[in-house]
Amino acid sequence: MNATGVGFPRTVLGFAVLFSLAAATIFARSGQQQAVPGPADLLLVNGRVYTLDASRPWAEAIAIGGDRITAVGSMAEIQRLAGEGTRVIDLAGGFALPGFNDAHVHVDSTGALLVGVNLLDVHEPEAFAERIRDAAGRLPAGSWITRGEWGAYEQWAAGSAGAARSGAVAGPFTPGRDLIDAVTPGHPVFVNRFDRSLYLANSLALKLAGIDERTPNPEAGEIVKDANGRPTGILKGAAASLVRRVIPPISFEQRVTQVEAVLAEAREGGVTTIQDLTSGAQLRAYQHLHRRGDLTARFMLRPTLDRVVHAAALGVSRGFGDDWLRFIGYKTWVDGIMGSSGAMFFEPYDHDPGNKGLLRDIMRPEGREGAAMSMTAAQKYTDFPPGNLERLLDQAVESGIPPHVHAIGDKGNRIILDVYEKLLAAHGLTDRDHRWRVIHAQVLHPDDFQRFGRLKLVAEVNPYHVSDDMRWMEERIGRERSRGAYAFRRLKDAGAVLIFGSDSPGTNAARYFLNPMYGLYAAVSRQTLTGEPKEGWFPDQRLTIEEAIEAYTKAPAWASFEEAEKGVLAPGMLADIAVFDTNLIEVGGSDPSRLLKARVRYTIAGGRIVFER
Ligand SMILES: [Zn+2]
């Protein structure tokens, strides 16, 4: 199998027919005789074009007609295609490559963070008040300011490799409503500390919730009061639900505004496809923007696996949709996350000896109560009677939409590998072109790497997790287990198809950026943003810049069955292109820190220039 697995045979006939519709109207695919294109709408000339097309890896210019690439070649070859109405852009040596395809974005929470308030890196009063004031300036009066997740970098600063804690902090920072009331007279505020141990409401939010001096503490909760008996705004435990229940769901207009904010960020980062976790409310917002012609990145849709019954009944199968909105998978989760020590392991966490992580609700009821919790490394999860996960996945296979399943801890990964192995065999798919995914594949038991190759699985990984998470990884799971963490080289060598996602906006304990430069940097350097540790964290797991770019462009298109549409710059492909001021291949190989300074000059989606610096 070659690096992206593009060598898998396309065995499903219906699928070939789907793509031939698009192919027939444009130009012949690579390897066949190409039609001679007429005058182009847009020419990009004088660039360093990194095509990811094995038959022509580098070029100088690109011709675009409508929403497709019509030709890629030398200056002489392409300039001939200029006609009367052709726009010609001189890239002046700029670096062009396929638009980035981010395989893992939480669009709703990224939008909420961009439009609302981000307090993850805040743990002192001035910055706290300032961020809240800025959010109030962005949001119409009356709308709620929620989440925030303050204090996530209080113990370990961003850029720390974890050797030393930032130490200076005396105790957890605890804000009060007095800090923000003056800047939020018209906005109710209900934000939380990253670990949900504390919530802060401003005076308006307390009033709307009916909380005052006389309100008694609910059972298992506390309304914190000052020496005079006045609520400080801090709520703990069950007291938070007194406010939560009066917060209205966000309006359709606000949802659209949030998606627009994500699209703006994507354009600025050269991202032209976003693989999302998609709710019904999100899809309605996407369709609204699509009808208006305002989509500037393509959304690949992944409803949650519990929707399989309804989607299958409606006849929704793989590839349903169009070039801008398309169903590509069912998303579900086995276990929790590292940030809150919820990822599921065979052995307890080093810093929390009573804890081995947890299962997500969708796993319940299991085949036998507690089967996963009691399973040892020597047993197979599928030796127990089938649980909810297995039953739902079985239905997904029937519907033809492949599963994309989140697994983080070594046991979480073992569970999904056991279930995949069993179901692939039961449906006769093991040697077929199924492209099933394990999302994150974050910490693997040494015995499990080879299974990715044997089962032909896609590993949807998040390289920037390395840069951020290393601040606490070894304290939580120790050096030995960390060898199997974010082990991209081992996964690739084992035969997994690696695809990259940002996991934007992160978790309640970490901020992950949509800008692909962070992911490329992390994959090739395995360092924090400040260059720690000098030799890289488990440096033998580094990827080359060529491999990293492939995992962010060509491979995710393949993993979504869209390799005939995008992911390489070649005639007939969608004209989704990013142009940078920096040669990413060159600096990625010589000085990865310069990736972080690379700036997009143009983003082109479907032949349209959607961003220009
Ligand atoms: Zn995620």
> Which pLDDT tens digit goes with each residue over 263-305?
999 999 999 999 998 899 999 999 999 999 999 999 999 999 9
Q: How far is the CA of 603 from the centre of ligand 1 (A)?
A: 25
Mean pLDDT computed over every residue of the chain: 90
Q: Does pLDDT of 479 surpass 80?
A: yes
More confident residue, 363 or 496: 496
Q: What is the pTM of this model?
A: 0.88
> If pLDDT is split at 50, 70 and 90, which confidence band does 33 have?
very low
Question: How sure is the predictor about 36, in pLDDT bands with cuts at 50, 70 and 90?
Answer: low
CA of 227 to the centre of ligand 1 (A): 42
Measure 84 CA to ligand 1 centroid, in angstroms. 47
Ligand 1 center–CA 461 separation, angstroms: 10
Taking only the tens place, the pLDDT of each residue in 403-447 is 999 999 999 999 999 999 999 999 999 999 999 999 999 999 999
Question: Could you give the CA distance from residue 514 to residue 505 in angstroms, rounded to a whole number?
Answer: 7
pLDDT of residue 348: 96
pLDDT tens by residue, 143-169:
999 999 898 888 777 667 765 555 445
**Sign of the torsion formed by the C-alpha atoms of 287, 293, 297 and 298:** positive
Closest by CA position to 263, among listed 107, 96, 101, 100: 107
- Would you say 141 and 184 are in contact if contact means Cβ atoms under 8 Å apart? no
The answer to whether 34 and 577 are in contact (CB under 8 A) is no
User: What is the whole-number distance in angstroms between the Cα of residue 554 and the centre of ligand 1?
Assistant: 21
CA of 440 to the centre of ligand 1 (A): 8
What is residue 37's predicted lDDT score, i.e. its pLDDT?
59
Reading the block at residue 66, the tokens are 């409508």
Cα 401 to ligand 1 centre (Å): 20
C-alpha of residue 30 to centroid of ligand 1, in Å: 35
Higher pLDDT, 241 or 374: 241
Cα(480) to centroid of ligand 1, in Å?
Answer: 25
Q: Which residues contact 534 (CB under 8 A, 6 or more apart)?
A: 527
Looking at the predicted structure, is the pLDDT value of residue 83 above 80? Answer: yes
CA distances from 365 to 188, 368, 391, 430, 452 (A): 39, 8, 11, 27, 27
Mean per-residue pLDDT, 179-187: 96
Rg of the Cα atoms in the chain: 25
Report CA(513)–ligand 1 centroid distance (Å).
Answer: 12
Dist CA 473 CA 350 (whole Å):
10
CA dihedral sign of residues 206, 211, 216, 219? negative
Q: Give the Å distance between the CA of 99 and the centre of ligand 1.
A: 21
Q: What pLDDT band is residue 32 in, cutting at 50, 70 and 90?
A: very low
Task: Tell me, in angstroms, the distance from the centre of ligand 1 to residue 322's CA.
Answer: 24
Whether the CB-CB separation of 231 and 225 falls below 8 Å is answered with yes
**Bridge partners for 146 per DSSP:** 190
**Which region, left, alpha or beta, applies to residue 304 given φ > 0 means left and ψ of -120 to 50 means alpha?**
beta
How close is the Cα of 80 to the center of ligand 1, in Å?
Answer: 46
- Please report the pLDDT score of residue 365 as a whole number: 74
Comparing 196 with 104, which gets the higher pLDDT? Answer: 104
Give residue 462 CA to ligand 1 midpoint distance, Å.
Answer: 9
**Residue 506 CA to ligand 1 centre (angstroms):** 7
